[in-house]
């Protein structure tokens, strides 16, 4: 595939990636039905779609749908979440321009975002608004402000950035995470399950009886708290929003402040989508051998530079566990996956069937933009209700009625 521009770890890994994608596809009946239809109708003919989303097996099935639907696709992922064998298969089997490596740094990630935008897309599918930020703030991509016909944004973090940080009223952006099906099914059940799975894979420690602090009680946080409680953990929720804090209380969780909860915690999980949730003053409160994980969007939810400055020694003691020996204190803290998303960096991300629903929302949203972007308002907005209900109907058909 010499004509396919890419920056991946090893193209020879493609056969392994093909097997992973085949396994995912076998458990994604909604996407299989969409692939069959899109291959016939070709709604993305002559369109380039640039994507920022985790490069893993379920994403591979989604990209199969887009490419068979006629799209030219370029994709980048996120630090520590890329499955290198899947990246190779996407280049070799589907002709996708892939810029993603398992070992990429955040600086690499930003460069890869620039790479996918260099294809001058008609549509972008974003994850955390990183592509949007480049288009709004970097002169070299300014022309895309007039070329783009629309976009999707996967996350609440990205939606917050689009609504709070940018003037994003030049094209319609469909916010996948504004849908109730995404929030309830994928975030509560999918993320909740995969975070617990990632932590257990990373650490091999028992969760039963552990004192766990979950910071953030949105849909992802509530799902994570519920799955941890189901494992026998004693869960305390820290939440700044009074209504959401009341919800956690009414659902039977302890609620507290960081200052009160951290000194007694065995495991601390951030899941807010905000920066610097855990800082120097919080690390100082934690007791010896506290495990710290991030399940929010950005690595910077946990201020690793401040933790490193406090430490006299660091050491990676397991593939996804780094110990920080605090200077002048008889304690060490354990950071999982270098504060990257623990469910994707230490595990395989959300269960396949869950992502079948979520990626169907993405697919139909992109099709709506490709065929009739003019019917949408030029601003961040929820996915049209008929698309959400279409996907929910398909999920019921395949998950319940079969």
pLDDT tens sequence across 289-327: 999 999 997 889 999 999 999 999 999 999 999 999 999
Question: Residue 301: which region, alpha, beta or left (left: phi > 0; alpha: psi -120 to 50)?
Answer: alpha
Which of 74-78, 186-190, 267-271, 359-363 is the least confident region? Answer: 186-190
Report whether 221 belongs to an annotated binding site: yes
| Alpha helix stretches (DSSP H) within 46-118 | 57-68, 84-94, 106-117
Report whether 297 belongs to an annotated binding site: yes
Considering its fold, how many domains does the chain have in total? 2
Residue 380's contacts (CB-CB under 8 Å, 6 or more residues apart) are: 153, 159, 162, 163, 168, 173, 175
Candidates 41, 130, 35; CA nearest to 77 is 130
Is residue 140 domain-shared with residue 204, that is, in the same domain?
Answer: no
Is residue 122 domain-shared with residue 195, that is, in the same domain?
Answer: no
- Please, which pLDDT band fits residue 181 given cuts at 50, 70 and 90? confident
Query: Higher-confidence residue: 135 or 183?
Result: 135
Identify the residue whose tokens are 């999920």: 395
Q: Is 190 domain-assigned?
A: yes
How much is the pLDDT for 1?
45
Residue 107's contacts (CB-CB under 8 Å, 6 or more residues apart) are: none
Report whether 347 belongs to an annotated binding site: no
Q: Give pLDDT tens digits for 145-163.
A: 999 999 999 988 888 899 8
Structure tokens at 258: 């960081």
Integer Cα distance of 259 and 295 in angstroms:
20
Report whether 284 belongs to an annotated binding site: no
Is residue 22 domain-shared with residue 110, that is, in the same domain?
Answer: yes
Question: Residue 391: which region, alpha, beta or left (left: phi > 0; alpha: psi -120 to 50)?
Answer: alpha
Q: Is 66 domain-assigned?
A: yes
Is residue 193 domain-shared with residue 177, that is, in the same domain?
Answer: no
Torsional sign, CA 25, 186, 179, 160: negative
Q: Is 116 domain-assigned?
A: yes
Is residue 131 domain-shared with residue 209, that is, in the same domain?
Answer: no
Q: Is 279 domain-assigned?
A: yes
Q: Which domain holds residue 65?
A: 11-182+351-401
Is residue 210 domain-shared with residue 258, that is, in the same domain?
Answer: yes
Q: Is 137 domain-assigned?
A: yes
Domain final residue, candidates 309, 330, 345: 345
Is residue 252 domain-shared with residue 172, that is, in the same domain?
Answer: no
Integer Cα distance of 58 and 55 in angstroms:
8
Report whether 222 belongs to an annotated binding site: yes
Report whether 248 belongs to an annotated binding site: no
Domain final residue, candidates 328, 345, 362: 345
Report whether 220 belongs to an annotated binding site: yes
Residue 87: give its domain's CATH number: 3.40.50.1480
Reduced to 3 states (helix: H, G, I; strand: E, B; else coil), residue 74 is strand
Residue 286: give its domain's CATH number: 3.40.50.720
Identify the residue whose tokens are 């269960």: 351
Is residue 337 domain-shared with residue 357, that is, in the same domain?
Answer: no
Q: Is 3 domain-assigned?
A: no
Contact predicate 351/194, CB 8 Å: yes
Report whether 17 belongs to an annotated binding site: no
Report whether 113 belongs to an annotated binding site: no
| Phi, psi angle pair for 104, to nearest 5° | -70, 145
For residues 120-141, give the mean pLDDT.
95
Report whether 296 belongs to an annotated binding site: yes
Buried-state track 192-208, b at ≥16 Cβ within 10 A, e below 16: bbbbbbbbebbbeeebe
Report whether 239 belongs to an annotated binding site: yes
Distance of CA 9 to the CA centre of its chain: 21
Domain final residue, candidates 300, 329, 345: 345
Q: Is 4 domain-assigned?
A: no
Is residue 177 domain-shared with residue 312, that is, in the same domain?
Answer: no
Assess whether pLDDT exceeds 50 at residue 2: no
Is residue 168 domain-shared with residue 40, that is, in the same domain?
Answer: yes
Report whether 192 belongs to an annotated binding site: no
Is residue 176 domain-shared with residue 213, that is, in the same domain?
Answer: no
Report whether 223 belongs to an annotated binding site: yes
- Please, which pLDDT band fits residue 183 given cuts at 50, 70 and 90? confident
Identify the residue whose tokens are 């617990």: 196
Q: Is 6 domain-assigned?
A: no
Distance of CA 197 to the CA centre of its chain: 15
Is residue 201 domain-shared with residue 339, that is, in the same domain?
Answer: yes
């Amino acid at each position: 595939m010499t004509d396919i521009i890419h920056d991946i770890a090893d193209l020879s890994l493609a056969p392994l990636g093909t097997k992973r994608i085949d396994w995912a596809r076998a458990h994604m009946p909604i996407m299989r039905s969409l692939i069959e239809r899109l291959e016939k109708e070709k709604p993305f003919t002559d369109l380039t779609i640039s994507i920022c989303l985790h490069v893993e097996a379920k994403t591979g099935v989604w990209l199969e749908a887009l490419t068979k639907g006629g799209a030219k696709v370029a994709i980048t992922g996120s630090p520590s979440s890329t499955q290198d064998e899947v990246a190779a298969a996407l280049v070799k089997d589907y002709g996708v321009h892939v810029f993603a490596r398992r070992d990429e740094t955040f600086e690499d990630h930003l460069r890869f975002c620039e790479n996918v935008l260099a294809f001058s897309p008609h549509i972008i599918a974003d994850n955390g608004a990183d592509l949007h930020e480049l288009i709004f703030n970097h002169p070299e991509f300014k022309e895309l402000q007039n070329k783009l016909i629309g976009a999707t944004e996967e996350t609440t973090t990205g939606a917050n950035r689009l609504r709070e940080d940018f003037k994003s009223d030049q094209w319609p952006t469909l916010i996948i995470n504004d849908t109730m099906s995404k929030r309830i099914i994928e975030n509560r059940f999918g993320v909740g399950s995969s975070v617990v799975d990632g932590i257990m894979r990373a650490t091999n420690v028992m969760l039963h009886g552990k004192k766990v602090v979950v910071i953030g009680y949105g849909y992802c946080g509530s799902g994570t708290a519920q799955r941890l409680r189901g494992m026998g953990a004693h869960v305390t929720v820290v939440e700044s929003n009074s209504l959401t804090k009341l919800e956690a209380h009414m659902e039977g969780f302890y609620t507290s402040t960081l200052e009160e909860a951290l000194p007694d915690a065995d495991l601390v999980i951030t899941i807010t989508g905000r920066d610097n949730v855990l800082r120097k003053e919080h690390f100082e409160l934690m007791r010896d051998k506290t495990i710290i994980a991030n399940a929010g969007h950005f690595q910077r939810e946990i201020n690793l530079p401040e933790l490193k400055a406090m430490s006299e020694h660091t050491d990676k003691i397991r593939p996804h566990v780094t110990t920080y020996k605090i200077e002048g204190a008889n304690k060490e803290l354990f950071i999982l996956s270098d504060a990257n998303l623990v469910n994707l960096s230490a595990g395989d991300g959300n269960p396949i069937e869950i992502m079948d629903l979520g990626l169907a929302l993405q697919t139909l949203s992109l099709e709506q933009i490709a065929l009739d972007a003019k019917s949408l308002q030029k601003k961040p907005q929820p996915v049209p209700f008929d698309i959400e209900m279409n996907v929910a109907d398909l999920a019921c058909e395949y998950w319940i009625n079969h």
